[in-house]
């Protein structure tokens, strides 16, 4: 149980700071409703739990560290992030064509697309996995903190080993549930121009992360 509690705290700690993933969750919630934002959050939580499991079981050397951060893999990850960032940024550049014609009004339901298809929900989930997976800060966070968490010994046939990543998933998911729920409640009062600004900020943040990955020294 100590491992579960520590995992929940760890999951909240890694998810709560506002970064590219947080802005993507906000952007997806505003553009497509609660389900779109929460699906993106669950994608991040999945990666958080995976990294926690690798670190807790001393398997970090099997993690994508040596693959993603090799020269070829690093540039491939940067290129993929640039593509994600450009798509989000382009959505922000398209909004003014709608929002600047007349006074600002709450976002129209038809424009927001409240009923997401299964494919769009899966797309939000997959995009969040890719974004979190290629963020070097995420893996570094777990490599530093997981070894200090309680419950690394497996006295109960592996239960403690499983409880830490499960707690991380629950803690991270709880944060994304809270964030997407709060943004979803405020969504009816958000203007199209505000969404455009958020899209631009989110897109620029992802592009900045891609450039950081591409130019950082070392493999």
Look at residue 104 in the predicted model and tell me its pLDDT. 41
Reported pTM: 0.74
Most confident listed range (45-54, 105-114, 136-145, 209-218):
45-54
Closest CA to 83 of 194, 209, 193: 209
Closest C-alpha among 21, 52, 27 to residue 195: 27
Give the domain extent around 190. Answer: 2-215
What's the token pair of residue 9?
């705290």
What's the CA gap between 204 and 171, in Å, rounded? 27
Instruction: Tell which residue, 59, 12, 9, 52, has the closest CA to residue 146.
Output: 52
Tens of pLDDT along 33-52?
899 899 999 999 999 998 88
Q: Encode pLDDT of 176-205 as tens digits.
A: 999 999 988 888 777 777 777 877 888 888
Backbone angles phi, psi at 115, to 5 degrees: -95, 100
When divided into structural domains, the chain yields a total of: 1
């Amino acid at each position: 149980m100590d491992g579960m509690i520590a995992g929940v705290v760890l999951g909240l700690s890694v998810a709560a700071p506002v970064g590219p993933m947080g802005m993507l969750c906000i952007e997806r919630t505003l553009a497509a409703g609660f389900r779109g934002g929460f699906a993106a959050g669950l994608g991040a939580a999945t990666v958080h739990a995976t990294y926690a499991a690798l670190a807790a079981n001393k398997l970090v050397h099997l993690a994508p560290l040596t693959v993603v951060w090799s020269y070829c893999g690093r540039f491939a990850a940067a290129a993929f992030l640039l593509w994600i960032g450009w798509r989000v940024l382009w959505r922000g550049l398209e909004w003014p064509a709608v929002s600047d014609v007349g006074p600002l009004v709450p976002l129209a339901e038809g424009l927001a697309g409240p009923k997401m298809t299964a494919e769009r929900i899966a797309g939000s989930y997959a995009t969040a996995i890719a974004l979190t997976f290629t963020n070097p800060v995420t893996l570094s966070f777990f490599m530093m903190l997981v070894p200090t968490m309680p419950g690394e010994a497996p006295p109960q046939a592996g239960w403690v080993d499983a409880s830490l990543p499960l707690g991380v998933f629950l803690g991270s998911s709880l944060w994304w549930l809270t964030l997407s729920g709060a943004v979803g409640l405020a969504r009816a009062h958000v203007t199209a121009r505000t969404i455009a600004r958020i899209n631009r900020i989110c897109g620029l943040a992802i592009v900045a992360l891609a450039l950081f990955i591409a130019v950082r020294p070392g493999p």
